[in-house]
Structure 1
């Protein structure tokens, strides 16, 4: 066998084959000892790297939306995480009812603009918890600010915030998928248990969004944007938690990674 070219420079084709998709991951603001940071939890990045097979690029949300289009130019997908802050209710026409929870208005405005710009460009989208709620607000929907105080609704918060994380993120309630949905085909099931660590939730779905799953009390637990051809998904639970140990989470992050690769190949 002739090995003369085994160390040759890679061709454009091999470079394209080896390139991993770039996923934009906006950060959130956090103050500590008088200093402000832009942070992202490692638990969200791990499945993007190890299951989706993508390269996460963290975006600072503290500097406005001026560079959104440039960020979108470089990307193959968008991923929005959960956070301890709540979305500014003024963005959906309500007064603030949760003063005990922090806000991150920089993230609110940045991510809403990123969602709108990215989906128009055909970028696959995956939003978790707050990221799902941001998707809904971006399309004109609103939220229950306190699901647990809303008539007929369950308490979707973690049962004991002081318990070990393995208990907080343990199975909490069941989810039922809409019949014959594409998400059911991805997961190969239409009924399963999820964790639940959120005080807020979807009240009215935004225009153009369609529900994919509901909790036992009817709360929307997953939705997508059928007007867009690419992968779009928001979920209220936390599939990133120990994702490598959860077969359903693995399927979700694999599907997202495959969608990002498909988009990358079109460039």
Structure 2
């Protein structure tokens, strides 16, 4: 799909590499934005302040909050940090949570994936659990050991959409397979969120924001990896793109 004039903002991860402080984002998310949503991805550095974000949000049509190897700092949801919560990226925390709040306040469409899904819950007052595979009756949601990314991101367990929910409106009410690469998950659900899908062990796999002025969906799995070939993954990105187009057109109309 070619670009349609849409701009989708992606908050950057911050990494130390080759003696530089990098602000970057994994290419799989950027490719899904470009190829499936038909938008231009804009990586937003964690250097921005409130006035910079004012300018940014006047121009963008959507926000996609990505997954990451880092985790939300537990101090943000009232838990004492430990080594099991690491690694952290406090600059990413600040930027992502601020952008999530801005998107919800302004009606800019929001798609939050993996870490982003967890950030959405924390931003609205929820908490996270770590090392969930150690809990009684819980599945092992961590990434499988595999030499190739396609193997690590393989679709391997079903999630069941909430019947009649916002996710079900996109993908249907029947269970469908997703990939799984996380060891943290939603613990206490934020009051402002609605559960849209769960795994068989009860893990919250998708949420929405019923009060949001625009599209606002969080998913724990990685639809970006299979967005070009997997039906549910594509449906999520296409719905996000449609919401971004509506936002662009409304802004153009004044």
Bucket of the pairwise TM-score, normalised by the shorter protein: over 0.9
Residue of structure 2 aligned with 1:250, choices 234, 237, 250: 234
Could you tell me whether the CA contact under 8 Å between 1:171 and 1:193 is conserved in 2? yes
RMSD: 1.6
TM-score after normalising by structure 2: 0.93
Residue number in structure 2 paired with 1:178: 162
Residue number in structure 2 paired with 1:239: 223
CA positional deviation for 1:100: 7.6
Pairing 1:128–2:116 present: no
Pairing 1:45–2:30 present: yes
Could you tell me whether the CA contact under 8 Å between 1:144 and 1:150 is conserved in 2? no
Q: Matches of 2:5 and 2:226 in 1, distance apart?
A: 23
Residue of structure 2 aligned with 1:203, choices 181, 187, 204: 187
Deviation by residue 1:208-257 (Cα, 9 ceiling, x = unmatched) = 10000001110100000001141110000000113211121111111100
Residue number in structure 2 paired with 1:21: 6
CA positional deviation for 1:63: 4.4
Q: Matches of 2:135 and 2:51 in 1, distance apart?
A: 38
Residue number in structure 1 paired with 2:201: 217
CA positional deviation for 1:33: 3.1
Residue of structure 1 aligned with 2:125, choices 122, 132, 140: 140
CA positional deviation for 1:193: 0.8
CA positional deviation for 1:71: 1.5
Pick closer, same or farther for the CA change 1:131–1:99 going to 2, 3 Å. Answer: same
Q: Matches of 1:257 and 1:97 in 2, distance apart?
A: 38
Which range is displaced more, 168-177 or 90-99?
A: 90-99
Could you tell me whether the CA contact under 8 Å between 2:71 and 2:115 is conserved in 1? yes
CA positional deviation for 1:131: 0.6
Deviation by residue 1:25-74 (Cα, 9 ceiling, x = unmatched) = 11111111332111111110111111111121110014454522222111
Q: Matches of 2:135 and 2:48 in 1, distance apart?
A: 35
Q: Matches of 1:95 and 1:66 in 2, distance apart?
A: 32
Aligned length: 249
Structure 1: runs of 5 or more not aligned: 1-17
Q: Matches of 1:123 and 1:65 in 2, distance apart?
A: 16
Residue of structure 2 aligned with 1:262, choices 246, 249, 253: 246
Q: Matches of 1:168 and 1:98 in 2, distance apart?
A: 24
CA positional deviation for 1:172: 2.2
Could you tell me whether the CA contact under 8 Å between 2:71 and 2:85 is conserved in 1? no
CA positional deviation for 1:19: 5.4
Q: Matches of 1:33 and 1:58 in 2, distance apart?
A: 20
Determine helix, strand or coil for the equivalent of 1:243: coil
Q: Matches of 1:86 and 1:66 in 2, distance apart?
A: 27
Pick closer, same or farther for the CA change 1:219–1:181 going to 2, 3 Å. Answer: same
Q: Matches of 2:92 and 2:175 in 1, distance apart?
A: 33
Could you tell me whether the CA contact under 8 Å between 2:106 and 2:213 is conserved in 1? no
Structure 2: runs of 5 or more not aligned: none
Determine helix, strand or coil for the equivalent of 1:204: coil
TM-score after normalising by structure 1: 0.88
Residue number in structure 1 paired with 2:55: 70
